[in-house]
Amino acid sequence: MTTTTSPATVEEREAILSAVREYADTELAPFATERDEKHIFPREALHRGGELGLGGIYVREESGGTGLGRVDTVAIFEELAQGDPTLAAYISIHNMVAWMIDTYGDDAQRARWLPDLVEMAEFGSYCLTEPGAGSDAAAITTSARRDGDEYEITGVKQFISGAGEAGVYVVMARTGEASSGARGISAFLVPADSPGLSFGALEKKMGWHAQPTRQVILDGVRVPASAMLGDEGQGFAIAMSALNGGRLNIAACSLGGAQWALDRAVQYVQERVAFGDPLAEKQSILFTVADMRTELQAARLMVRDGAQAVDDHAPDATMRCAMAKRFATDAAFDIANRALQLHGGYGYLQDYGIERVVRDLRVHQILEGTNEIMRLIVGREMLRPAGSASMRSGS
């Protein structure tokens, strides 16, 4: 099934982005440092974002979502990340869960989960990675054994954002034999209150402190057969279909964090006097901020190109999204790091916020497929015979 989304008109897009910008400026940005320091997951602030439609950005309108296309979506995530990259990234993960249910779920599953997810009255988490299966996602060992009208799920998921806070977990588990590879994986909707479901300790991370990351432990969790999302054996395809959208979103979050850091750096070099003159009057500083701005715009255009490819169902969408994710997340981290350098010692202090953004953006080069995996995707697509480019357009 393919969800139907549509681009906003110019007027609609400006109205949407204006509302998102106000939300980011009032609900996210003022408390970002405190949330980072105290590891606060702001449920109420996120719920208020849900009231704006941020919990179902590309869920179809008939399912209660906003029904926007990917080009509009990346602009939204860039705005959100200027308020707080960590929470913008979590909202992306939450939207991935809602999109999966809207796209692959049946009427009962959509009716059960989407109203609360779209409003962010409940949160979603996505459980694919395992302690021994990261980039090689087809190697997962979590099992789902059929027992009458139920499945019994056993295994451990690693690095799960929102674990312990979410109301529903999309769990990829093996229903086929160990040798079945990707074809033996199915997807399940597991409610948070399921007996046998528990969580590991909070991971101590370099960044992303405002969203919890834990193991999700499934010890004989029993769910009805009706909890399967899509068909048996379709789980890996469901997981992969979401990756183009996830990569674009995380790239857009990187753009927003880098733009925020660049804006602060430009302001700082205009105010800071060294050796009798403002830093902004020194040619080396001008060259630095000019390069930062140029690289940020190049990354932004690549992300928009990838988003357009998904909206158009372009045959090379997967490659274009991989290129955008690799380039944008690398460039954005470098821009934020240079913004810290321009602040000198002050950039290393928590009070200025730059070091937080540097820490938060670093993981974007790893998740949604490491940037090394992005290079593999691009290289392999380049070497495919003419006319056989991947058709997977993603969420």
Q: Which active-site residues does the annotation give?
A: 368
CB atoms under 10 Å from CB of 181, counted, come to 13
Query: Rounded to whole angstroms, how far apart are CA atoms 257 and 296?
Result: 11
Calculated CA dihedral for residues 97, 188, 196, 87, nearest 10 degrees: -10
Q: Position 223: which residue type?
A: V
Terminal CA-CA length for the chain: 11
What does DSSP say about strands 228-229 and 185-191: parallel, antiparallel, or unpaired? Answer: antiparallel
395: three-class secondary structure by DSSP? coil
Distance CA 100, CA 41 (A): 23
What does the block give as tokens for 230?
A: 């899509």
Gap between the Cα atoms of 321 and 336, Å rounded: 22
Residues 6+ apart with CB under 8 A from 144: 151, 152, 153, 173, 174, 175, 186, 188
Cα 217–Cα 205–Cα 203 angle in degrees, nearest 5: 20
Residue 284 makes CB contacts below 8 A (sequence gap 6+) with: none
Q: Are 83 and 103 in contact (CB under 8 A)?
A: no
| Distance, C-alpha 298 to centroid of its chain | 21
Give whole-number Cα distances, 125 to 96, 188, 213, 327, 380, in Å: 9, 12, 10, 26, 30
Are 17 and 75 in contact by the 8 Å Cβ rule? The answer is yes
Q: Which two tokens stand for residue 330?
A: 């690398």
- Residue 230 φ/ψ region, left for φ over 0, alpha for ψ in the -120 to 50 degree band, beta for the rest: left
Classify each residue of 83-100 as buried b or exposed e, where b means 16 or more C-beta atoms within 10 Å of its C-beta.
Answer: bbbbbbbbbbbbbbbbbb
Residues recorded for the chain: 395
